[in-house]
Chains A and B, each alone.
Chain A
Amino acid sequence: MVAVSHISLDSNLSIMKRIQLLYILLALGVFSCSKDLPTELAYSSYQFASIDENGGDWIPILISDGAAIEIPVPTDVNSDAYQAELAEVKSAIASMTASQKKAVEQWTNNPVVRWNEIALELIAKYNLIPGPNADGTYTLPNPGNPDGPPAFPFAHPPYASRALAYMSVAQFDGLIAAWHYKFEYNRDAPYVLDPDIEHAFVANPIPAYPSDGAVVAAASGAVLKAMFPLEAAYLEQKQNEHLEALLLSGEAVPSDLDGGVKIGQEIAALALTRAAGDGMKNAQTSKAVSDSIANAAYERFGWMWINQESPQRPVGLTPLFGKVKMWNVPNVEATRPPVPPTPGSEAYNADVKILEGYLAEKNQEYRRIANFWQDGLGTYTPPGHWNEFANRFIVESKMNTLRAARTLAYLNMAVMDAGISCWDAKYYYHYPRPIQTIEGFKTIAGTPNFPSYTSGHSVFSAAAAEVLAYVFPEKANLVRGWAEEAAISRVYGGIHWTFDATVGTTQGINVAQYSIDRARQDGADF
């Protein structure tokens, strides 16, 4: 009942307070009133800051170049076949229902952000850690039996980073291919060719064949269906709704969509082929392998992390995620951090004092920071949080779909590489959590089921911030500050040592550099 959708989050909060007061006043007089809260980023179609005519020459990730995926030569706009398509669009628009119109407005002319939000929603939906069985054992999610229980997947941060990376890379490569053909064939959009066709979006001079929106719909839908198999029907419905919206927007005839869908499907298949062989399927190990990893660390360093839950979890989260194939770092050891302080050493004891100090202080600002960055179970995870920031910046800087996908592709490659590097350190060093080694220690954040050093939040966030600082230089100080706050938030939460956070931040910066170096060479900056 009250429009809160066109304002930034900060002012959103203070306005919410006023709205709440209004509700109180209303409630004194009436029994109920509707409560509207934002469920997606608020934006409508917009004028792109650039068209990137040479985008088809940019260097993609999975394919050699934009021409590597082939689509049919489009029909001439004067042909009977095209004119029939145009008539079909016209009649569909003429009989558009209110809900179809709403869908067109909701998808906008930058659906890259919308598909990213769908991915974030599914991550949050599936980010539930399996609980114990009645006999105290645990059953792990099994892709062979996705219904479970427990349902597959458990969309924890490494899983989330990987799902986002494959989706974003597929979108990016697919859009380079789309851009290649758009400016090769230069076929105009229906609304340009026929002034009677109403255009639902702000006009941007980008040729229509193949439809970039259709590439995004097909590529995103296919990758997400593989990552979230129980959501196949939901994703199919979203994909169809999106394709229909593209047609009803006046920007595409059916053959524009078909060309885009073909690119989207082919690039998604290539992405999923890489995913099938990237080592993720071996990341969650047996107890025997897990124990041998822990024992190796104990032999090497004289310590090992032990799960403190009740009943105890026999295996930590994805002990071999550190062996998953990286995107842009040549080998994971290249970014492995130095050895952490030995428990009982002077440096370690100093950290114990710091942690006990934070706990005793009950500082509301520490609490706020710990909660703001927690992104724990049931949420979109830290990789999801950084995708949300990227989505806001993409819309704010009016990126076209290709630039948006590029931003998210490099962000999510760096974030997944950060996760792999972090997990390598976690299971190589196998360092205990504060609740394991400080007697009687309590936390305000949930202690995760994996070793302490380095902090996942720190590495993910620093890597994400570096990529965003590269793409949005005017945001560099802001995002680097956020990354440092995200890192220390885990110490305030009581679940990490300060060196987990500080060393993790450096690690994330190092990891991201490989993705940024690659991005600088892909043609988008020239």
Chain B
Amino acid sequence: MNIRITSLTGILGCLLGFSINTLAQSPTDELMMPKKEICFLLNYEYGDFDHYWEGDSLRENATIATVQRRTLLLMAAYGITDRLDAYVGLPYVSTNSTTPNGGKFAGTSGIQDLSLGLKYKVIESKQEKSDFSLFASVLFSTPASNYLSDYQPYSLGLGAPQIAWRAIAHYQLQSGFYGRLSGAYVWKGYTEAEREYYYNNGSYYTAWMDVPSSWNLDLAVGKWFFGHDLRVEATFSSQTSTSGDDIRAYNAPQPTNKVDMSRVGGFAHYYFPKVKGLGVLGYASQTISGQNAPKMTAFGGGVTYQFGL
């Protein structure tokens, strides 16, 4: 039995310095853990950007120069039954600007958001030449430390509780080619700033900021090689916020911004056939369009290990 773990494609890649989908460990793929098996992932990601969209206008800003972001993630997936998986994940993030820069701002680091999730296999239909399956997942995340979300672009995350409701459809041919579509509504709650007034197309006399919820789409086409030892995919992801304001001219972003973006990427996961339970993965992604979002380039790699309990 090969290792199965949630695909991280395009999800880790979106952990950016700006307000983004911070659901780092969201179950977006078709893989299920066998009952009573557990899998751990240790993942490292590096991302940076020197351009960002202020509203829909792409710009540089010498005040922040290039913003770098490093994320170390530990997560686990567990098969409660063959149709129901549970997930838990916790990332550590550090951010900074490259020098020289005009702002001389200190970067920051710390534990970001704890995620807890469930994924359920709703339909599995095995035909002669193809398989089709449908999944539903829900993922809850909440800040696990007192990081400040209102310190952009260096904030570790959005600082708000989030709940992602997701449906995943997977279609696979006998040849190993597959396609996957996942759509999610990500509810994002309030984040608490450390000031009691802010402007969001009008005055707000509160420390609480409404973080816009979003619709998120993930699309993947891929293929299994060497039986089930290696999977390689090309990915496309997008986020469309349901509300929010634009970053104002030459001003810092804030958690109330309407962050939209689309991103392309590649992902590969190799399961060592001779070392039971061990796998390695790697990925890269590039934001290609956006609004109030950084034009982030990201790379990541990780190790997975699966075993029965």
Contacts and interface: CB of A to CB of B under 8 A. Distances in A.
A368 interface: yes
B148 A37 contact: no
B226 interface: no
Interface residues of A, number: 56
Interface in A134-174: 149-150
Given A32-B187, A37-B206, A27 B163 contact: yes
Nearest to A379: B197
Interface stretch (A75-83, A264-272, A305-313, A326-334): A305-313
Contact of A131 (B195, B210, B250): B250
Contacts of B36: none
B190 interface: yes
29 contacts: A9-B196, A9-B205, A9-B206, A16-B208, A20-B190, A27-B163, A31-B165, A31-B187, A32-B242, A38-B206, A40-B203, A128-B250, A131-B61, A309-B62, A309-B102, A310-B102, A367-B194, A371-B193, A371-B194, A372-B195, A372-B196, A375-B195, A378-B248, A378-B252, A380-B199, A388-B205, A444-B151, A446-B105, A447-B103
A9 B192 CA distance: 13
Interface stretch (A55-63, A98-106, A116-124, A410-418): A116-124
Given A128-B250, A150-B249, A446-B103, A40 B195 contact: no
Interface string A284-307: 000000000000000000000000
B189 interface: yes
Contacts of A131: 61, 249-250
Given A38-B204, A310-B63, A13 B102 contact: no
A88 B204 CA distance: 37
A130 B249 CA distance: 8
B127 interface: no
A129 interface: yes
Contacts of B197: 124, 375, 379-380, 384-385, 388
Interface string B30-46: 00000000000000000
A443 interface: yes
A379 B195 contact: yes
Interface residues of B, number: 46
B227 interface: no
Nearest to B96: A442
A150 B250 CA distance: 11
A261 B146 CA distance: 51
Contact of A378 (B190, B199, B205): B199
Contacts of B148: 367, 371
CB-CB nearest 9 A-B residue pairs: A131-B250, A310-B102, A371-B194, A310-B62, A442-B106, A124-B199, A309-B102, A27-B187, A435-B104
Contacts of A125: 199
Contacts of A128: 248-251
Nearest to B104: A435
Nearest to B209: A37
Contacts of B65: 310
A310 B198 CA distance: 26
Contact of A377 (B104, B105, B252): B252
A444 B250 contact: no
A92 interface: no
A35 B190 contact: yes
Contacts of A345: none
A39 B202 contact: yes
Contacts of A28: 163
A12 interface: yes
Contacts of B250: 128-131
Given A9-B196, A380-B197, 11 more contacts: A24-B161, A35-B210, A41-B205, A129-B250, A308-B102, A310-B63, A310-B102, A375-B195, A385-B197, A442-B104, A444-B105
